[in-house]
Amino acid sequence: MRETLVIGSRRSPLARAQAARVAQLVRSAWPEIEVETAWMDTQGDRRIDEPLPEIGGKGVFTAELEGALLEADIDVAVHSLKDLPTSLPEGLDLLAVAEREDPRDVLVTPDRVSLDQLKVGARVGTSSLRRRAQLLNVRPDCRPLDVRGNVETRLAKLEAGEYDALLLAAAGLKRLGRLRPEMWFLDPPRWLPAPGQGALGLEGRSDDERVRGLLDAIDDVEARSATECERALLAALGGGCQIPFGALAVRDGESLTLHAAVFSENGDTAVRVSTKGDLRDAIGLGRLVAEELRSRGADGLLTG
């Protein structure tokens, strides 16, 4: 009888693509392993007509999967790492970061224009406080409008004229085969993604050494160090989806440069920091940048 690994995932097309990628990586590393997938609906998937901040932030996409892990119904949960809270339930751990696609956001419009070229008063669809605040910081004349649903639903709403533009993650579009040359990439450090954006986080039981050993083979060391840095910063700030906050750690040889910014919700104030540190102390760099942000006045934005 073949050894089995059961992967848990949300049902959305993007989540299915991510789970399929993890299954492919596991099968390549361990051809003798039977990989199965269990599909689940989360609160965030069911309550698609409500803004994310109103229904609980990050945990709305992870709680059901974590419950299945704790009940041993699945062996590993696949998450978009940006959706996974920095504080995990007792008994669970981030066992691996499988890989990271392009972490940047993109501006999607019917007629490829840059953020600076959007018409005055443009209606821009986003369900993210971070994207909303950055948009208003760069283009205070634009009108950020909430948009929920999967990527295909959002693109259909753009094509129907409900929005003039959308702000989306490049990684999700690429994994779905929907990334196009006419989409405008928003480059750091002027525009920063969510911590962990583009990376796949593999969550499992802390004491499950069998699964930990299997996932070690697909753990991406570079992606893990960068996202550990970004998540350490987020944890030190004590936040999640409720903070208009962006961060990206970029490797240069044996160093990491962490770019970070905290915004007021209306975008009129931003506190920015870019600091270089040792690649071997990614978590320490994240905590250091949190202190620098606070010393420059970010506390007022975090609690305001």
**pLDDT given at position 176:** 96
Band (240; pLDDT cuts 50, 70, 90): low
Residue with tokens 């998540």: 231
**pLDDT given at position 1:** 63
For domain 105-186, the question of CATH label 3.40.50.720 is answered with no
Average pLDDT over residues 218-226: 97
CA distance 97 to 81: 8
Same topology, domains 1-99+199-219 and 105-186? Answer is yes
Beta bridge partners of 203: 77, 94
| CATH number attached to the domain at 221-304 | 3.30.160.40
CATH class of this structure's domain 1-99+199-219: alpha beta
**pLDDT given at position 303:** 65
Q: Which of the residues 75, 83, 164, 208 is marked catalytic?
A: 83
CA distance 141 to 181: 26
Global pTM reads 0.91
**pLDDT given at position 58:** 56
Give the CA radius of gyration of the chain: 19
Structure tokens at 281: 């102390």
Percent of the chain with pLDDT over 90: 85
Residue 235 has pLDDT above 70, yes or no: yes
Q: Looking at per-residue confidence, does 64 or 242 come out higher?
A: 64
**pLDDT given at position 45:** 54
Average pLDDT over residues 257-278: 96
Beta strands in 143-254 (DSSP E): 143-145, 165-169, 184-186, 199-205, 245-252
Band (43; pLDDT cuts 50, 70, 90): low
Average pLDDT over residues 236-262: 89
**pLDDT given at position 57:** 56
CA distance 190 to 248: 11
Cα 188 to its chain centre, rounded Å, is 15
Band (82; pLDDT cuts 50, 70, 90): very high
Residue 84 has pLDDT above 50, yes or no: yes
Average pLDDT over residues 128-149: 95
Band (2; pLDDT cuts 50, 70, 90): confident
Beta strands in the chain (DSSP E): 4-10, 34-40, 76-80, 92-100, 105-108, 123-125, 143-145, 165-169, 184-186, 199-205, 245-252, 255-263, 270-278
**pLDDT given at position 301:** 85
**pLDDT given at position 193:** 98
Distant-in-sequence, close-in-space partners of 161: CB < 8 Å, separation ≥ 6: none
Domain boundaries, the chain: 1-99+199-219, 105-186, 221-304
Average pLDDT over residues 213-242: 91
CA distance 70 to 64: 10
Percent of the chain with pLDDT over 70: 91
Band (36; pLDDT cuts 50, 70, 90): very high
What's the whole-number average pLDDT of the chain? 92
Average pLDDT over residues 41-59: 55
Q: Known catalytic residue: 219?
A: no
CA distance 235 to 247: 12
Residue 127 has pLDDT above 60, yes or no: yes
Structure tokens at 2: 């073949």
